[in-house]
Chain A
Amino acid sequence: MLGVQQRRAGRAGVDRAVVRVAEKTPVADGVVTLTLAAPDGGRLPDWTPGAHVDLTLDNGLTRQYSLCGDRWDARSYRVGVLLEPAGRGGSAYVHQQLEPGHVVGLGGPRNDFPLVPADSYLFVAGGIGITPVLPMVVQAELLRLDWRLLYGGRQRSSMAFLDELAAHGDRVQVRPQDEHGLLDLTGFLGEPRPGTRVYGCGPAPLLTALEGACAGWPPRTLHTERFVAAERGAPVRTTPFEVELHRSGRTVTVAPGTSVLDAIAGAGVEVLSSCRQGTCGTCETTVLAGQPDHRDALLDDEERAAADCMYPCVSRSCSDRLVLDL
């Protein structure tokens, strides 16, 4: 509804790069979902199936989670988080310490696993790898395309979202390992045919097996997303940092909760911007030194690693000091 709940665009002083935990719900053994909302209750940046967000947790860890909610609900995101006892603390923090009301840093959404056009889709999900697939099956349904999903897990009680998937009837094959053994990928995929795209997400051995099973299919049939525990360059700061504006010879301190864009404007240097969500690219700024903490939806991993430009409407700094060509 307009008029009442909408937020004003481009207002200074609002940190777009955080979300508030609205709900935390156990959905299977070792799996919780988080519902995330903008602190002001406004719209969150748009996303497409396969997209993920970076969440920066209070313990300084940044973790990537696939969005598995409803993109028609502009005011909340949903992510599913598996407790990984052998992990490095991100999932344990979410399960044991993160509570409704807490605020976490947000990056993205970005999509490295987009659903490309096809005549039909075959989805294969292992365990928590179901999360990006959930919005994909919604999309395939909307487009009235033929699709099927093979969903494996250790045991039924550890497999999340079975209730939601039940609505799709026999398009979805649920195959817990303790009941059915290893997934029969070849049987599920059937004969190679053009026009079909296979999307797989899950543990590495499953994806390797899926690559083997798709060997006889046309090139570019298979799309996978691996759960890479890629450690981000530098830990994210929760303390102020300095931004040096090289051409104007000024330096500003950016406090937590203030965007770099607003801090720069406060120093009297205007940078043209538009969406203020890290999606349109208008405020692209050249980075001369320092390590940006990229929160935008535009740069891919390689471009992020290059650290030669940033979008100051949402992106921040990992280093004590950033030098910008402004």
Chain B
Amino acid sequence: MTRTTSPTAGLPVSDADPFGHEVLEDPLPLHEQLREAGPVTWLSRYDVHALARYEEVHAALVDWQQFQSAAGVSLSNFRTEEPWRPPSLLLEADPPRHDAPRRVLTSVLGPRALRQLRERWAADAEELVDQVLAEGTEFDAVPALSQAFPLRVFPDAVGLGPDGRENLLPYGDHAFNAFGPSNDLVARGAPRVAELSGWVGEQCRRESLAEGGFGAAIWAAADRGDLTPQQAPLVVRSLLTAGVDTTVHGISAVLYAFATNPAQWARLRADPSLARVAFDEAIRWESPVQTFFRTTTTAVRIGDTVVPEGHKILMFLAAANRDPRRWTDPDAFDLGRDPSGHVGFGMGLHQCVGQHVARLEAESVLTALARRVARIELAGPTRRHHNNTLRAWDSLPMAVQLA
């Protein structure tokens, strides 16, 4: 933050704070401003280069050679700053160290591995939806559905014990805050970091993980020699960090999208097989994971700008997902659109390894809900949840009309 003028002549400059509360409440104006400013903009407040157009964001995501992750996918540069916890073996690693953990987790969470969960999760979702509707047709969708369903099925799938599951959301929330600057959001989470990290660390041990779950499968990979025994608990930690909040906010996103787009809900009701597309369209439209950083490994030309080696790049996944250069009528939530190619799950070798798990969870909830609910609408003021990385809701009051 030493410079106040653009490091490169002609490079657009913005002094906006993407992690300030005003932007977190409504990031869309900033996203548009950055997209229209050019292929790359210098954010003077943090001395980082920002990418907001689809083409540049996509290119940076897949180009792990020039845009590394091992120096942190946060504002913090691990080359010069100590990370707040041992770095992730997946998200904060480059080839070759990234290879073995990714290979193991890809296999543990692969679409074929999930086939066994499909029927059980469908039944779980029907049960949950029945419970919620039995209590009334007005409810807050965030706790009642978005949080309840992942917390019901995902810890079981991992193989966690019954105690302490309430720690998962605050731990993940802090981890995603920590990718941003050390602002008030990070400070608010700080008092519980040691306690929550301690609990998460306990859950990653072999002894804590039930047979048949994702966690046990990760340890089995260590027994086969595909991972080291030191790597196994950190790979489990990745599941617990990145697997809960993201899905919760993804489900909130699609429920909010339907509550504010009744014609699209009617469309899903008419053709429930659209549930998968609906979730990915909501991921595109709302982008629960808004941003990630990379670090340049060499001088990289972006547009007319050469970004020097070792610089932090902030990729606005959410802005790319609404780039009119890539998407027709990007602000519309539209089940008729093919959302394939959105970067809400990232792209390339760091693309969300749990995306098939998230899709299956969301598909289960939407399918169950579409069976019972004819109309869905907002029933009161909504409230955003601010996080440095995530776009989220604290409260979504909804009223439904039963089918």
Contacts from A to B (Cβ < 8 Å) = 1-4, 6, 8-10, 43, 46, 48-49, 71-72, 74, 111, 114-117, 139, 142-143, 197, 220, 265, 270-276, 280-284, 298, 303, 309
- The listed residue (B39, B55, B99, B345) touching A274 by CB distance below 8 A is B345
The answer to whether A220 and B111 touch across the interface, beta carbons within 8 angstroms, is no
Q: When A2-B302, A6-B59, A117-B227 are in contact, do A281 and B341 touch as well, CB less than 8 Å?
A: no
Given A1-B301, A270-B277, A282-B355: A197 touches B112 (CB 8 Å cut-off): no
Q: With A1-B300, A3-B303, A116-B225 as known contacts, state yes or no: A280 contacts B99, CB within 8 Å.
A: no
By beta carbon, the residue of chain B nearest A43 is B62
Chain A residue contacts of B340, Cβ below 8 A: 10, 270-274, 276, 282-283
Binary interface profile of B, 291-302, with partner A (CB < 8 Å = 1, else 0)?
000000000111
Contacts of B122 in A (CB 8 A): none
User: How far apart sit A111 and B107, CA to CA, in the bound complex (Å)?
Assistant: 13
User: Contact at A8–B55, with CB atoms within 8 Å?
Assistant: yes
Q: Cβ of A117 and Cβ of B110 under 8 Å apart?
A: no
For residue A77, give the distance in angstroms from its CB to the closest CB of chain B. 15
* Other 14 A-B pairs with CB < 8 A, given A274-B342, A274-B351: A3-B39, A3-B302, A3-B303, A8-B55, A9-B347, A10-B341, A114-B103, A116-B225, A271-B340, A272-B276, A272-B340, A273-B340, A284-B111, A309-B112
What residue of chain B has the Cβ atom nearest to residue A50's Cβ? B99
Query: Which one of B224, B302, B347 lies within 8 Å of A275 (CB-CB)?
Result: B347
B331 contacts A by Cβ under 8 Å:
no
List 6 A-B pairs, minimum CB-CB distance, nearest first.
Answer: A10-B341, A273-B340, A6-B59, A1-B301, A220-B225, A281-B111
For window 338-396 of chain B, which residues contact chain A by CB distance below 8 Å?
338-342, 345, 347-349, 351, 355-356
Chain A residue with Cβ nearest B299: A1
**A220 B302 Cβ-Cβ under 8 A:** no
A71 and B355 contact, Cβ closer than 8 Å, known pairs A220-B224, A281-B110: no
**CB-based contact A197/B351 at 8 Å:** no
A141 to chain B, nearest CB (A): 10
- List B residues 217-263 near A (Cβ within 8 Å): 224-228, 231
Instruction: Tell me which residues across on chain A come within 8 A of B351, comparing CB atoms.
Output: 274-275, 280
Specify which of A72, A197, A280 lies most central, judged by the most chain B CB atoms within 10 Å of its CB: A280
Of all chain A residues, which has the CB nearest B277?
A: A272
- Which bucket holds chain B's interface residue count? 35 or more
In angstroms, Cα B343 to Cα A282, docked, is 13
| Chain A positions within 8 Å of B55 at CB level | 3, 6, 8
Seen from chain B, the residues whose Cβ lies within 8 Å of a Cβ on chain A are 39, 55-56, 58-60, 62-65, 95-97, 99-100, 103, 110-112, 224-228, 231, 276-277, 280, 300-303, 338-342, 345, 347-349, 351, 355-356
CB distance from A113 to the nearest CB of B (A): 12
Which of B97, B227, B349 has the most A CB atoms < 10 Å from its CB?
A: B349
List residues of chain B with CB within 8 A of the CB of A270: 277, 338, 340
Q: Which residue of B lies closest to A311 (CB)?
A: B111
Inter-chain contact B348/A46, CB cutoff 8 Å: yes
Tell me the minimal C-beta distance from A161 to chain B in angstroms: 20
For B356, what are the chain A residues with a Cβ–Cβ distance below 8 Å?
281-282
Alpha-carbon separation in the docked complex, A297 to B241 (Å) = 27
User: Are A272 and B301 neighbours in the complex by a CB distance under 8 Å?
Assistant: no
A-B contacts, 23 of them at CB < 8 A, read: A2-B39, A2-B56, A2-B301, A3-B39, A3-B55, A3-B303, A6-B55, A43-B62, A46-B64, A74-B63, A115-B96, A116-B225, A116-B227, A139-B96, A142-B96, A265-B338, A272-B276, A272-B340, A273-B341, A274-B347, A276-B341, A280-B351, A284-B111
In the assembled complex, the CB of A85 is this many whole angstroms from the nearest CB of chain B, namely 37
Cα distance, A75 to B65, chains bound together (Å):
11
Q: Which residues of B contact A49 (CB under 8 A)?
A: 96
- Are the CB atoms of B99 and A114 closer together than 8 Å? yes
Asked if A74 and B341 sit within 8 Å, CB to CB, the answer is no
Chain A contacts of B111 at CB under 8 A? 281, 284
Q: How far is the CA of A270 from the CA of B273 in the complex (A)?
A: 11
- What separation, in Å, do the CA atoms of A272 and B344 have in the docked complex? 14
Most chain A CB neighbours (cut-off 10 Å) among B55, B95, B99 = B99
Chain B residue at smallest Cβ distance from A73 = B65
Residues of chain A lying within 8 A (CB to CB) of residue B300: 1-2
**CB nearest neighbor in B for A142:** B96
Query: In the complex, what's the smallest C-beta–C-beta distance from B384 to chain A, in angstroms?
Result: 27
Q: Name the distance in Å between A193's Cβ and chain B's nearest Cβ.
A: 14
Note all chain A residues with C-beta closer than 8 A to B103.
48, 111, 114
* CB <8 Å contact, B280 and A272: yes
Bound: A308/B182 CA distance, A: 50
Nearest CB of B to A322, in Å: 19
CB distance from B129 to the nearest CB of A (A): 23
**Bound state CA distance, A74 and B66, in angstroms?**
10
Once bound together, how far apart are the Cα atoms of A28 and B97, in whole Å? 33
User: In angstroms, how far is the closest chain A Cβ from the Cβ of B306?
Assistant: 9
Query: Is there contact, CB below 8 Å, between B226 and A116?
Result: yes
> Which chain A residue shows the least CB distance to B356?
A281
Q: How far is the CA of A10 from the CA of B339 in the complex (A)?
A: 10
| Contact indicator B100/A3 (Cβ below 8 Å) | no
Taking a contact as CB atoms under 8 Å apart, the answer to whether B277 and A280 are in contact is no
Nearest residue, chain B, Cβ from A1: B301
By a CB distance below 8 angstroms, the chain B residues around A46 are 64, 348-349
Cα distance, A148 to B301, chains bound together (Å):
39
Q: Is the CB of B349 within 8 A of A197?
A: no
* Given A6-B55, A272-B277, also A115-B99 (CB < 8 A): yes
Residues of B with C-beta under 8 A to A284? 111-112
The CA-CA distance from A196 to B249 in the complex, in Å, is 44
Nearest B-chain residue to A261, judged by Cβ: B340
The distance in angstroms between the C-alpha atoms of A139 and B99, with both chains bound, is 11
Interface centre among B39, B56, B59 (most CB of A within 10 A): B59
Q: How far is the CA of A24 from the CA of B372 in the complex (A)?
A: 63
Task: Kindly state the separation between the CA atoms of A71 and B64 in the bound complex, as whole angstroms.
Answer: 11
